[in-house]
Structure 1
Amino acid sequence: MSELTHDSLSYLASKWLKRSYSANGPGCHIGLVEVGGLFGGERADAWGYRWGHGGGSVLVEVKVSRSDFLADAKKPHRNGDVLGMGTYRYYLCPEGVIQPDELPDGWGLLWVNKRGHVKPKAGHVLLLKSWKTKNELEPWQHQVNVKGEMELMAHLLARLGDPQELNQKYRTMQSEVNRLSCRVNELIKGRDHRAKRRHERALADQAEHTRQLIMEFANAIGQACEQIERGYPHCAANRLRQLHAEIMKESRNDGHH
């Protein structure tokens, strides 16, 4: 990967926010870069949210140097003067810039190696594969500026347009997807039915052809008997051999089909 800049690390952080539990991620449903800062408040390098089981917000602060990390402790939403964002909070940095034993209480740590791979070194994500009770996650949880996060989400929705109009378009699109899915299933069933009918017709034609060969063979046997009685055994044998060859050829063709 190219140089690990603040922007590139922030992008990796947003991708990691949506990583599943099984891949040592928080499983957020949304992950955003450089959000917040409303009314002069906290601005997150990356922020995500997961609803439902194990839900909550996740903040990621990107640090490219030790001096940047040390200066972070002086911010009002870090030293406790005001509430900050993130039920769960993480620092993300190039590998080795921050050590786990240097972290503030309740903060996780993500290292990024030269290939751009994110590896959790501390934090609640290391428990998500096996946790059974909420008590196990509490040491990693923070008191959150709920009003600030709600205003952030409302602001983001407003920037996208009218939420109700977008929701209606989504419902219309989902209805059309369901309609097309049903139509595709109908076409597949129709295609399978037509293929079955063609196969049945082919079998019927083959059976009729075989029946005709048998009838010809039976007639040939009758004619052969008459020719033998009249003293022409060679002609009878040749006709029987000819029909035998045709039947054997037909049998081989049946085997191929």
Structure 2
Amino acid sequence: MQTTKVIDHIVNWLKDYAKNAKMNGFVVGVSGGIDSAVTSTLCAKTGMKVLVLEMPIHQDPSHVSRAQKHIASLKERFSNVSSERVDLTPVFESFKGALPEAEASANVDLSLANSRARLRMTTLYYFAGLHKLLVGGTGNKVEDFGVGFYTKYGDGGVDLSPIADLMKSEVYDLGKELNVIEDIMVAAPSDGLFGDSRSDEMQLGASYDELEWAMKMQNAGKTEADFEGREQEVYKTYMRLNTANSHKMIPIPVCEIPVHLKN
């Protein structure tokens, strides 16, 4: 990949889109991970107004530390970047308190985790509306179009997606070129939605390198029968996630009413 040229292409694309939309710049939620670090840096390179938001909800201390270090580095390097910290923990706890009691289960944990992402989306759009900014998406290609590893109307609720055509490994390539801080470059990817340090690999059952391989095999028309051992296991994991999360990756189905029923 021609990393420098890809960076220039994305920066110009961001700038053109924002100017054509008559918007002032971008707002990006920063989590302490590589995707949000690269996205916010790309937005900063446009020279337009960039607001980065830290939105902790019972956040693991390591995530908070990385996010704060990245924000400090970004503001030091780019004069067009500002930041806000919105502690959403009290809001989340109030939301939980308003819900009927439910028996503890994995479904409850996942529903609450997704609620965290949706609270953050709401916060991003509050600031976007306040300052005429576009919400920058932080999903990469494997997450957005491979395994659907994001929250519908949470981190999936954005105005534009600058890195969604890049594999995770390519995002790291950009991160290196963009001088993203070392703490983020070496950290295990994590969605940070459960208040602990569990990694994406622990949740997905495969590493991003493995999932990238499986996505390429799917696109090449391969099937589970073409593999054995760990490769077969990874391919099965990828296809299970791809199928289960397909509803996130296709347009919302619309019930079309036959013309004769409308007349």
Q: TM-score, normalised by structure 1?
A: 0.22
Q: TM-score, normalised by structure 2?
A: 0.21
Name whichever structure is richer in strand by fraction: 1
Q: Which has the higher contact order (CA 8 A, sep 6+)?
A: 2
